[in-house]
Amino acid sequence: MTTSLSDVLEALEGLYPASTAEAWDAVGLVCGDPDAPVRRVLLAVDPVEAVVDQVVAGGFDLLLTHHPLYLRGTTSVAATTPKGRVVHRLLTAGAALHVAHTNADVADPGVSDALAGLFDLRDLRPLAPSAGDALDKLVMYVPNADAERLLDAVAAAGAGHVRDYERCAWTTTGTGTFRPLDGASPAVGRVGEVERVDETRLEVVLPRTRREAVLRAMQDAHPYEEPAYDLLELATVVGTQGLGRVGDLPSPLPLRELTERAAAVLPATAWGVRAAGDPDALVSRLAVCGGSGDGLLREAARAGAQAYLTADLRHHPVSEAPEGLALLDAAHWATEWPWLADAARRLAAATSVETVVSTLVTDPWTISARSPSA
């Protein structure tokens, strides 16, 4: 069976929903025909021309990157610019480009989970948790004989889905009573007479975004002319998604050894890994964030971490870091590249495509030199 680009995009949406990306981000399909077949997918951090060379040479049908091509928008894709050449070369080769950026950062699992896995961190949780999905609870009252059919209808419209389970509901039975008035056309009972019916109380949760569709399905499937129901907005709770991760090391390490280990497990770059803090201070809890993470220093400290590994740390945030928090600064590309292997495994499991991770180092820094006195 041929896998289309739209099939792959559906799988990626399930893994990294576009709705979880930051408002300023540019994620999703950049170029490509959703009806085109996809056999091979190349995963890379950056959509640069050197990576496109790999796409063309390897006969890949899709390039999945972490970084957007047009983050700030554009009015032209002319091949007179590097970004324009990327688009032209991909389309000429019959290849598409898709981006999973901040939606992959906050995913569970996502970019920071892969980074945490390099250190075998235990009891992971987000540094900056995302708010959970906005949920409603729908409570319906229906004759016992119609309860299963009504549940099927609202479940098909999006209600009763809880993580890896569907058609989830709570039911109990009781007696409903009513008197139809003039002008009514009751499905049960007669106008002017009090009626009592053995009914099922049926409760389901639903995403607030599916409220209209579920209510419509409920009204279409319900036998009553005027269904009795309650719709409640549930409190939004913190979910398992969010930026960064914090967890416990298998055993404490001095900052010096932790820095050396970071340099060993991360892909090699000219930047390497540098640290700020007492080299002999023991670290038992480590916070990590793939990419630029200097906005989460206080969250790392509040989480009880003794050290925080991220990228693109600046002088003033480091010098003003919370007391007791050591900082490890690695190359931006290096902290995000480990996610590619996890994304490749999950995409291959969800589809029939072949996935390959690019090992091309696209970190822009190519040379470093240590000071003689260092």
User: Do 229 and 248 lie in a common domain?
Assistant: no
**Which string of DSSP letters, residue by residue, matches 260-321?**
HHHHHHSPP-SS-EEEES-TT-EEEEEEEEEEE-GGGHHHHHHTT-SEEEEE---HHHHHTP
- Domain boundary among the residues 180, 207, 233 is at 233
Average pLDDT of the chain?
Answer: 95
In a domain, 279, yes or no: yes
What pLDDT was estimated at residue 119?
A: 98
Beta bridge partners of 176: 197
CATH of the domain at 181: 3.30.70.120
pLDDT digits (tens, 9 = 90+) for 126-178: 999 988 778 999 999 999 999 999 999 999 999 999 888 999 999 999 999 99
Pair (259, 294) in one structural domain: yes
Same domain membership, residue 252 and residue 168: no
Percent of the chain surpassing pLDDT 70: 100
The number of folded domains in the chain is: 3
CA separation for the pair 358, 348 (Å, rounded): 15
Print the domain residue range for 175.
135-233
245 within 8 A of 115, measured Cβ to Cβ: yes
Confidence of residue 374 (pLDDT cuts 50, 70, 90): low
Is the residue at 249 inside a domain?
Answer: yes
- Let me know: does 365 contact 334? Beta carbons within 8 Å: no
66 and 193 share one domain: no
Q: Residue 115: give its domain's CATH number.
A: 3.40.1390.30
Q: Can you give the pLDDT at residue 242?
A: 95
Is position 367 within any domain? no
pLDDT digits (tens, 9 = 90+) for 200-225: 999 999 999 999 999 999 999 999 99
Question: Which carries the bigger pLDDT value, residue 263 or residue 371?
Answer: 263
Same domain, 180 and 32: no
What average pLDDT does range 364-374 have in this prediction? 87
